[in-house]
Amino acid sequence: MSALRNIKYNEEEDGELPSLVTGEETNLQEILKNVSYDGGNIVSDAKVERVNKQMESVDNNMNGSQKRKRIPVSIITGYLGSGKSTLLEKIALKGADKKIAVILNEFGDSSEIEKAMTIKNGSSSYQEWLDLGNGCLCCSLKNIGVKAIEDMVERSPGKIDYILLETSGIADPAPIAKMFWQDEGLNSSVYIDGIITVLDCEHILKCLDDVSVDAHWHGDKVGLEGNLTIAHFQLAMADRIIMNKYDKIEHSPNTIKQLQKRIREINCIAPMYFTKYSETSIDKLLDIHAYDSIRVSDILDNSVGGGTIHDHRMGTVMLTFRPLRDEEEYNEKFLKQFLQPLLWKNFGALAVLEGGSEHNEHNWEVQRTKGLILIEGNKPAVRVIQGVRDTYDVFPGRCDDDGSQKECKIVLIGKYLEKGSIEKLLHETLNYN
């Protein structure tokens, strides 16, 4: 671009400048070479400015195409000892043709977090250790870890196809997912592809029942309000569930049934795969696009049943409702009077939801929202809503090509959610008769 500034050009002698660069040319250098350097008058600043601007947009377009090559991050979470590292090894083995960067995060005794970033690139792999010096990945990742990930990506352009981030057994995946998904800075090079939760079929029910608030892990006291365990959150946020250590329960069909029912009560959307030593095909785990617009519809369609809640602590509520009449109803009613009060728990929703069961005073909480909203009127549109806790984002969506999507759908996963009260809030908002 600065090269353009050196163009000395005299219209009489050199005739018309070639048409300004549009950025489409492949022979940009030829064009610039042909512009004869006469050492005479300086091309008018306005012209240089204009051409520089054009070059800028060329650069941006270039970056744009590089930007489009963003790297998917899969967050691998799950209770202590469930088989996360075993899964990572399997993916790395099976994905030998893919270039996978693995970010490990273990809580050591001194509760130091050592962070290894290993880029498996063919046989060679190089380690990068990042001591976050902070007891909690999801909090510290926001600052130090984000930078380290960006540096890693910048330093190895084209060398990474996937990033697998294994959280420790006691990290809550929601803030980590939110950070990747919300963080403008990171959007330049990575994006969150989905959360893979590994569970230990033999012990998970005990974990889910171990709701005494003074539960301890690694000697750290991890108290949780509302008597939920981290295992609940890790399950609620899952976009894929690896039901690992199947060898431990494969001979007791009742346990398998009980397990499936309990997991489905917490998360009725994510596909479940029973595995031994986390053995599964990796195409079920990578490129799942759980956080972008296109796939939400089939994720929603995957959800089984109405998500009625048996377990009042963590559950899934799925509602279908008529298309919204127009943008006005979408903005003023659906967003402002239904979705925002629900996610932000402000008085509007509380008043309606308070009527729910004794749990509902103030400790209900939506952890994950996925929605497909059809808007009719003179500017019909499809919107996809992706939410993590109190944050949501809206993407332009598209209905399945066969136009089978006739209704709006929203799935809410969270704590003490009562389908009846939420439906009532929606119906009052859209004054359903």
Ligand X SMILES: Nc1nc2c(ncn2[C@@H]2O[C@H](COP(=O)(O)OP(=O)(O)OP(=O)(O)O)[C@@H](O)[C@H]2O)c(=O)[nH]1
Take residue 375 and report the two structure tokens written for it.
Answer: 């808007």
d(CA 197, CA 343): 24
Four-point Cα dihedral 359, 364, 368, 370, nearest 10: 90
Tell how strand 408-415 and strand 365-375 pair up: antiparallel
Tokens 């046989």, residue located: 123
- Comparing C-alpha atoms, which of 323, 301, 314 is closest to residue 415? 314
**What is the smallest separation between the CB atom of 83 and ligand X, expressed in angstroms?**
4
Stretch that binds ligand X, among 80-88, 187-195, 317-325, 421-429 (CB under 6 A): 80-88
Phi and psi of 91, rounded to 5°? -65, -45
Beta strands in 4-109 (DSSP E): 71-78, 100-107
User: What does 84 bind: Zn ion, ligand X, none (CB cut-off 5 to 8 Å by kind)?
Assistant: ligand X
Report, in Å, the least distance between residue 202 CB and ligand X.
8
Contact 79, 200 (CB under 8 A): yes
The listed partner (ligand X, Zn ion, none) that binds 303, CB under 5 to 8 Å by sort, is none
Size of the site for Zn ion (CB under 5 A): 3
139 is a site residue for Zn ion (CB under 5 A):
yes
Q: Decide if residue 132 touches Zn ion (CB under 5 A).
A: no
Q: Residue 171 has which token pair? A: 């990290």
Residue 80 vs 139, nearer CB to Zn ion: 139
234 sits near ligand X (criterion: CB under 6 A):
no
- What residues numbered 257-296 form the site for ligand X, per CB under 6 A? 276-278
Q: How far is the CB of 329 from ligand X (least distance, A)?
A: 46
Site of tokens 């808007």: 375
Residue 234 touches which of ligand X, Zn ion, none (Cβ within 5-8 Å per kind) = none
Give the interface segment with ligand X, choosing from 30-38, 245-253, 263-271, 332-340 (CB under 6 A).
245-253
Segment contacting Zn ion by CB under 5 A, of 74-82, 134-142, 347-355, 372-380: 134-142
Binds Zn ion (CB under 5 A): choice among 117, 138, 152, 164 = 138
Chosen residue from 10, 54, 57, 85 binding ligand X by CB under 6 A: 85
Q: Mind giving me the DSSP string for 114-159?
A: EEEEEEEETTEEEEEEEE--SS-HHHHIIIIIHHHHHHHHHHSTTS
**Are residues 407 and 357 in contact, defined by beta-carbon separation less than 8 angstroms?**
no
Residue list 137-196, contact with ligand X (CB under 6 A): 169
Establish if 230 lies at the interface with Zn ion (CB under 5 A).
Answer: no
Among 83, 194, 307, 348, binds ligand X (CB under 6 A): 83
Residue 201's nearest CA partner among 151, 254, 155, 154 is: 254
List the one residue from 77, 229, 244, 367 that touches ligand X (CB under 6 A). Answer: 244
What H or E segment, with its residue span, contains residue 372?
A: strand 365-375
Those residues whose C-beta lies under 8 Å from the C-beta of residue 122, and which sit 6 or more positions away, are none
- Residue 245 in contact with ligand X, rule: CB under 6 A: yes
Q: Is 203 in the site for ligand X (CB under 6 A)?
A: no
Sites of contact with ligand X (CB under 6 A): 78, 80-86, 169, 244-245, 247-248, 276-278
Sites of contact with Zn ion (CB under 5 A): 136, 138-139
